[in-house]
């Protein structure tokens, strides 16, 4: 693992769960971790309810854009966290994988997105503790 571990969050549209997870990790880890996110079939824009839910906790993800999952991005990431993309997510030998079972916030209002946001935060915090036990 390089000096700075890289974490890739993947969901189908890269518009809700993976964007919120990336937002949390950037917020909680600062520049100690390289944060990436992508989707197997990216949406045009980030889910407005996800943007609103994150803004409520002081995290701005308005500048993020859904990105297509690139083979090279996945191959060069240390940890790959998938969120409901099933077989669309590539598997690379020797990578650490986690599959987070989370409700899909697509089409939901901010009330439905808040508990997903909070669940993602606790998972990101646990991941961060495992990545940097010395901190």
**Domains annotated on the chain, with CATH:** 6-129 (3.40.50.2300)
pLDDT at 135: 47
pLDDT at 69: 92
Task: Note whether 77 and 5 are within 8 A (CB).
Answer: no
Q: Which of 69, 89, 127, 131 is catalytic?
A: 89
Residue of 19 and 3 predicted with greater confidence = 19
Radius of gyration over every alpha carbon of the chain, rounded to an integer in angstroms: 14
**Is residue 38 pLDDT above 50, yes or no?**
yes
Q: How far is CA 123 from each of CA 6, 48, 56, rounded to the nearest angstrom?
A: 16, 22, 19
pTM of the model: 0.92
The pLDDT mean for the chain works out to: 91
Respond yes or no: is residue 89 known to be catalytic.
yes
pLDDT at 93: 77
Task: Specify the pairing of strand 34-39 against strand 79-82.
Answer: unpaired
Respond yes or no: is residue 85 known to be catalytic.
yes
Q: Which of 7, 8, 10, 11 is catalytic?
A: 11
The conformational region for residue 41 under phi > 0 = left, psi -120 to 50 = alpha, else beta, is beta
**Is residue 92 pLDDT above 90, yes or no?**
no
């Amino acid at each position: 693992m390089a000096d700075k571990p890289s974490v890739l969050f993947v969901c189908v549209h890269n518009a809700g769960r993976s964007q919120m997870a990336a937002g949390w990790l950037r917020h909680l880890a600062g520049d100690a971790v390289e944060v990436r996110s992508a989707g197997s079939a990216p949406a045009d824009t980030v889910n407005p309810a996800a943007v609103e839910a994150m803004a409520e906790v002081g995290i701005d993800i308005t500048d993020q854009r859904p990105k297509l999952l690139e083979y090279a991005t996945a191959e060069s990431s240390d940890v790959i966290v998938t969120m409901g993309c099933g077989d669309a997510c590539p598997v690379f030998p020797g990578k650490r994988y986690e599959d987070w079972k989370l409700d899909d916030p697509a089409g939901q209002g901010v009330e439905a997105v808040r508990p997903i946001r909070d669940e993602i935060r606790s998972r990101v915090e646990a991941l961060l503790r495992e990545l940097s036990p010395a901190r």
